[in-house]
Chain A
Amino acid sequence: MNWLTSYLNLAGAYIKINTKSLLAYRGAFISQMVAMFINDFVWIAFWCLFFTRFPVVKGWGVNDVITLWAIAASGFGLAHMVMGNALMLPGIIMKGELDSWLLYPRAVLPHLLLGRSSASSWGDALFGIVVYAVFVKPDLPHFCLFLALICSVAVLFVGFSVFTGSLAFFMGSADSVSTQLRIAMITFSTYPSPIFQGFVKILLFTLIPAMFVSHLPVSALRHMSMTEALYSFAGALAVLIAGVIMFYTGLGRYESGNLMEMRG
């Protein structure tokens, strides 16, 4: 229990430092946050237009898609505003920049992931919560479950980023592949799940686990189903464990870059 408190304290300290460092460039930070907010909002506008013309797609209405976007955006946002280095992992490994992280007495992976906050992710996180509250107008139980599911989706995105980023240990230059896989995951996560059938549906529960973002959390919120919420958490945890195993297996193959680096 002590180690958990210790890591939560570390996370708290990093969030504080990262926020301060983002605020050092206040203009850039705010503009990136606002831009991401608008970017996400444009997609909501697209879906509103789509559902104005075609009101129901396989049982999904506009509110379901807004819920989906709210969960996906704020889950992705929370993941990378707290653990922004998850997005940078392939580059860090490829350039041999892991050296400095290996010197700390903490476990490498959580410490490394906490080391940076992505400015635009703050816009994503804010967007999801605002859009859900304003457009869907949930009651208190729905809103509480929504917040819990955001955490589940955040865990999933961190796990997936770690898994794909760790490919760099095995492939060398995995930046492009990792980015493509991550984009594929985000893209599949932001479309109504019932449009995918057959083999692709299996793929979206396994290799690209987008169904744990789009299908289960939305369905859990729709029916206030704790079972589906638990399935979401279980899926997210499984992806995180797979990512951690992949990272530490790959770490055994890591060779120092002999890189001199100062971290302030």
Chain B
Amino acid sequence: MSKYFYIALTSIRSKLAYFREIGSKTIFLFVVLYIFLCLWRVTFAETNQTTLGGLSLKQMLWYLVVTESIIMSLPPIATLVDQDVRTGTLAMQLVRPMSYPLNMLASTSGERVLSFVINFIVGSIIALMFVGPLDLQFQGFVMFLLLLPLSFALDFTIYFLIGLAAFWLEDTTGLTLIYSRMTMILGGMLIPLELFPEGWQQVLRILPFSAIVYGPARIFVTGDLSLFLSILAQQFVAILLFTFVICIVYNTALKRVFSHGG
């Protein structure tokens, strides 16, 4: 297990060498948070409400800090797998004494953790500037820290599966784009699930998207214990399910790998 830990660590170190590039991405974070602050400020004012979907304006912006940080920290997992399949690099990986999926999980997780921390710090500074500090509960923060790695792992399993589709499809960028947009909208990145129509909420709470984005963000701002338990269960079930599917697809895909020396 320690070798995968070192892969993650190396990934963080190599990403730190391109710190400026990560930093420049925070410009977009600033733009998005500012736009949503404007949008929600107007919406709160026009509806004459102090809370919408159980969140005040301050909580709404902090909710967006977490959701945006989760989404923006995503490394190009599907693209990396797609390229490894298409260029034949996968065959090289297979001779190494480590599992290809776990190697990919470790390296992309390292990168993701670093990106998330940077985005979260910058997002928090922006939120502090615009709406001030959140009334953060210690219990809520701990629950959030427990959910976050599982959210990353679940997201990884789905992107990894999309990448593996390169064995059969000419191009996986379309699938990647569609999945990322589903996560953004149906996962509650832009609006919390409570603001969706009643019928939709029931379905969205079962789908994996909400366990990736909505769950950790909502727990961070509200510290709701019952929601924590239900999101935790949802994450475990979804991770197990997608890992099982990966095992089947990966083993089927490996039978299509042909390599020769040279």
Which A positions have Cβ atoms within 8 angstroms of B? Answer: 25, 27-28, 31-32, 34-36, 38-39, 42-43, 45-46, 49-50, 52-54, 56-58, 176-177, 180, 183-184, 187-188, 191-192, 194-197, 200
Please report the total number of B residues contacting A with Cβ < 8 Å. 35
- Say how far A178's CB is from chain B's closest CB, in angstroms: 10
> Least Cβ distance of B201 to chain A in Å?
11
A53 & B170 in contact (Cβ 8 Å cutoff): no
Given contacts A34-B174, A54-B46, contact A184 B27 (CB under 8 A): yes
Closest to A195 in B: B38
B224 within 8 A of A: no
**Other CB < 8 Å A-B pairs besides A34-B174, A53-B195, 15 of them?**
A28-B170, A31-B169, A31-B170, A35-B174, A35-B178, A38-B178, A39-B177, A49-B195, A52-B197, A57-B42, A177-B24, A180-B24, A180-B28, A187-B31, A200-B34
Q: Complex: how many Å from CA A35 to CA B177?
A: 7
Pair A184/B28 contact, Cβ less than 8 Å: yes
B: which residues have CB within 8 A of A? 20-21, 24-25, 27-28, 31-32, 34-35, 38-39, 41-43, 46-47, 169-171, 173-175, 177-178, 181-182, 184-185, 190-191, 195-197, 200
Question: B28: which A residues are within 8 A, CB to CB?
Answer: 180, 183-184, 187
Q: How far is the CB of B259 from chain A (nearest CB, A)?
A: 25
Chain B residue at smallest Cβ distance from A55? B46
The answer to whether B181 and A42 touch across the interface, beta carbons within 8 angstroms, is yes
Contacts of B32 in A (CB 8 A): 187
| 3 nearest CB pairs, A to B | A35-B174, A27-B170, A31-B174
Partner of B178, one of A39, A183, A200: A39
Residue of A nearest to B43 (CB): A54
What distance in Å separates the Cβ of A254 from its nearest Cβ neighbour in chain B? 23
A-B contacts, 10 of them at CB < 8 A, read A27-B170, A31-B173, A36-B177, A38-B181, A49-B197, A54-B46, A57-B46, A184-B28, A187-B35, A195-B41
Neighbouring A residues of B178 by C-beta, 8 Å: 35, 38-39
Residues of B within 8 A of A196 (CB): 38
Interface contact A32-B171, CB-CB below 8 Å = yes
Report the separation of the CA atoms of residues A214 and B183 in the bound assembly, to the nearest whole angstrom: 26
Distance from A155 Cβ to chain B, minimum over Cβ atoms (Å): 23
Q: How far does the Cβ of B214 sit from chain A's closest Cβ, in whole Å?
A: 14
Query: A191 to nearest B CB, angstroms?
Result: 5
Given A58-B46, A180-B24, A183-B28, verify A25-B181 contact (CB < 8 Å): no
- Looking at the assembled complex, report how far the CB atom of A148 sits from the nearest CB atom of chain B, in whole angstroms: 28
In the complex, the answer to whether A42 meets B182 with C-beta atoms within 8 Å is yes
Chain B's nearest CB lies how many Å from the CB of A61? Answer: 12
* Min C-beta distance of A26 to chain B, whole Å: 9
CA distance A188 to B35 in the complex (A): 7
Determine the distance from Cα of A197 to Cα of B39 in the docked complex, in whole angstroms: 11
Complex Cα gap A180–B47 (Å): 33
Q: Hey, which chain A residues are within 8 Å of B41, CB to CB?
A: 195
Complex contacts, B182 vs chain A, CB 8 Å: 42
- Is the Cβ of A188 less than 8 Å from the Cβ of B191? no
Query: Please, which residue of chain B has its CB at the minimum distance from the CB of A33?
Result: B174
Chain A: which residue is nearest B174 at the CB level?
A: A35
Provide the residues of chain A in CB contact with B24, threshold 8 Å.
176-177, 180
Which residues in A have their C-beta under 8 angstroms from that of B27? 180, 184
Which chain B residues lie closer than 8 Å to A192 at the CB level? Answer: 39
